Chain A
Amino acid sequence: MLIEFVNVAILALLAVTALAAIRLHDLFAVAMMFGIYSLLASVMFVVLDAIDVAFTEAAVGVGISTVLMLGTIGLVGRHEKKPAHRPLLPLLVVAITGAALVYGTLDMPLFMDPGAPVHQHVAPYYLNESPEQIGIPNVVTSILASYRGYDTLGELAVIFTAGIGVLGILGLRRRKRPGHEGASE
């Protein structure tokens, strides 16, 4: 009973935060709303017992993304421009896509259903065999780093590529400006 109440409360707060982020025109406040949204999402992951995911969401979603958004706001200014078009067509597209997604969830197994396909495939194998085969207590780590080592290598390559892209486009060196002394490196 309590857990349902917590779930409903978090989901309601998520919806309120998302609506507030849409309504606000001050981009600084919008960035803060996104941070709050990520924090609520990480609470949701804690409720779902996905501590590793909650950890990542809290570190990346609340910390790094907010800092990067604030850095971008520092470059582009903190006030939203007036939209040039009427929002009807985008609203229609979003409504149809959302309706399709909700329709898709009707086929999904019920929440916490032990007979769901995801619990019948490789998950029991990992849970039963990883203490014997890998021997470390955190099954998430043994799946990420050992059973699914190729995937993690791919993810790391994606992050590496993103870093190289930022280096190539923005660069790290301080730009020298005419008449601006002491801007070395």
Chain B
Amino acid sequence: MNDNPVLRIVAKIIIPMILIFGLYVQFHGDFGPGGGFQAGVIFAAGFILYGLVFGTDALRSAIPAHILRIVIAGGLLLYVGVGVATLLMGSDFLAYNALGSTPSGGQHLGIFLVELGVGVTVSAVMITVFIGFAGRNDP
């Protein structure tokens, strides 16, 4: 697929839009449909398209394996970290009210961080699974 100029140029135009849309779904999930899971998958789809068009080697150099490993663990750690933070503030695990000066502000911050953790881990896992499968085809 590497030699097709139409595919390469269209992919280069579309990939930034996919990534921006993924970020929109991530950060607009409080107000419209969407959230961490969907945003993570859409964000990963941008990278997977890159890998499909330009080859898994190009994708590997765009996102090195050690960074993917850190990001996979980082999202889950962020989620658990929010829970531990609310514990340390004298509240229950994942009771976000303690995070802000008002209960509503705490809920907003807690949901934002938790969804960010979900999105980060989901997108990194999806990219990892794609590289794991598609990378075995390489000659």
Interface residues of A (CB under 8 A from B): 51-52, 54-56, 59-60, 63-64, 67-68, 71-72, 74-75, 133-138, 140-142, 144-146, 149-150, 152-153, 155-157, 159-160, 162-164, 166-167, 169-174, 185
Contact = CB atoms under 8 A, between A and B. Distances in A.
Given A172-B60, A174-B138, A55 B107 contact: no
B104 A135 contact: yes
Contacts of A141: 29-30, 35, 111, 115
Nearest to B76: A160
13 contacts: A56-B37, A56-B38, A63-B41, A67-B48, A145-B114, A145-B115, A149-B114, A152-B114, A156-B117, A159-B122, A160-B76, A172-B68, A174-B57
Given A64-B45, A156-B79, 18 more contacts: A52-B33, A55-B25, A59-B45, A64-B130, A71-B137, A133-B103, A133-B107, A134-B104, A137-B30, A137-B31, A141-B30, A141-B35, A152-B118, A163-B125, A166-B129, A169-B132, A172-B132, A174-B135
Interface in B103-119: 103-104, 107-108, 110-111, 114-115, 117-118
Interface residues of B, number: 59
A68 B79 contact: no
Interface string B84-110: 000000000110100000011001101
Given A152-B114, A156-B79, A160-B72, A167 B132 contact: yes
A173 B65 contact: yes
A160 B33 contact: no
Nearest to B122: A159
B12 interface: no
B124 to A, nearest CB: 7
Given A52-B35, A174-B57, A71 B41 contact: no
Contacts of B25: 55
Given A51-B33, A67-B48, A145 B125 contact: no
A136 B94 contact: no
Closest 6 CB pairs of A and B: A163-B125, A170-B132, A71-B133, A135-B104, A172-B65, A51-B33
B35 A136 contact: no
